[in-house]
Copies of this chain bind each other. A is one copy, B any other.
Amino acid sequence: MLIINEKDIAAVFDANEIIAAIEKAYSLQDEHSTLIPDRAHINYGMNTLMLMPGFTNHVMGTKLVSVFPENRAKGKLVIYGQMILNDLETGEPLALINGNKLTAVRTGGVGATTIKHLAPDNVNTLGIIGAGVQGFHQQLLSAKVKPFRKIIVFDNNAKQAEKTAVEIKQHYPEIEVSVCGVANELVTQSDVIITATTSAKPVFDVNTQLLNGKLFVGIGSYKPEMTELPPEVMAAANTIFVDTPHAMDESGDLVIPLKKNIIKKEKIVPFRKLLTSQVKKSSGINVFKSVGMALFDLTVADYLYRKCLTQGMGTEIEF
């Protein structure tokens, strides 16, 4: 059995290969051979354990994610994840994979895949609102898919924005990386804007008429009470692409404007349809909203496992 830890993932992953795994997940999404049961939530006091099993015609695996809100006060991470990958032919365990890093690179991959297919033709600047682990990985992967010359980072915590900007600069010395103290300015200056916060209210509010040609990628809001993108942006977009239709019930970015009748369900479209050319990108505002899906974890975990095998990475243990 192969143990694939955080450092192994950081060492082996390639942004374009992660994107290929994300695209594979989209292609498997409606296949008969794909079985992704509803995520099980087990609540124990304040804490939650989530179980995310899944099967495709290639792979079988289960991600466990614990959410312990009081960890923050203890100086620990709130979320810990572990993924077990099993042989689809026999059930034998193949790998144990660090679930935090897996989630970070696959979510970065979801943003990067969106940018690959939905960004305006000539991009110059990528704007990131929210400079946590997720905001960092969004930049790390997205900067590979388009020739961005500039990245602008905003975070309510200016020190955190600065820290992330320094880290990104180390990865991309050829790109100009700067911190911006006002989210609206970041939006005005950027061609692609990724929001990666857990905000309870929209994170910017510029005039939507000035937003034509821009792409908005909403990554952070995964609960009905969280919302990052202004309802005006949702209203102005011709089409709102989603990774999974569940986003309509899970994210405040969609739940709230749907409830207020600011948008209609009909314009929420699976991103898969863009990949199969059933729907086209707009010359106006383009919007993508992700809440994540277990299928991304599966295809990316499978990719990381095979990459580690071919590169002799990870720790082989007798089990």
Interface residues of A (CB under 8 A from B): 3, 5-7, 35, 37, 40, 42, 44, 47, 49, 51, 53, 55, 60, 62, 64, 66-68, 71, 74, 76, 79-80, 82, 84, 86, 89-93, 96, 98, 315, 317-319
Contact = CB atoms under 8 A, between A and B. Distances in A.
A80 to B, nearest CB: 5
A67 B51 contact: no
Contact of A91 (B68, B90, B315): B68
Nearest to A80: B91
A35 B42 contact: yes
20 contacts: A3-B319, A5-B317, A5-B318, A6-B319, A7-B318, A35-B42, A37-B42, A42-B53, A47-B91, A49-B91, A51-B51, A62-B64, A66-B86, A66-B92, A67-B91, A68-B89, A76-B90, A76-B92, A79-B91, A96-B96
B64 A84 contact: yes
A257 B84 CA distance: 41
A123 B5 CA distance: 52
Contacts of A37: 40, 42
Contacts of A51: 40, 51, 53, 62
A86 B65 CA distance: 10
A80 B86 contact: yes
A140 to B, nearest CB: 21
A71 B49 contact: no
Contacts of A5: 317-319
B96 A90 contact: no
Given A3-B319, A51-B40, A318-B5, A90 B68 contact: yes
A102 to B, nearest CB: 12
Contacts of A89: 68
A40 B92 CA distance: 19
A82 B60 CA distance: 14
B62 A49 contact: yes
Contacts of A86: 49, 64, 66, 80
Contacts of A84: 64, 82, 84
A292 B62 CA distance: 23
Contacts of A44: 35, 55, 60
Contacts of A49: 53, 55, 60, 62, 86, 91
Contacts of A79: 91
A64 B49 CA distance: 14
A60 B40 CA distance: 16
A75 to B, nearest CB: 10
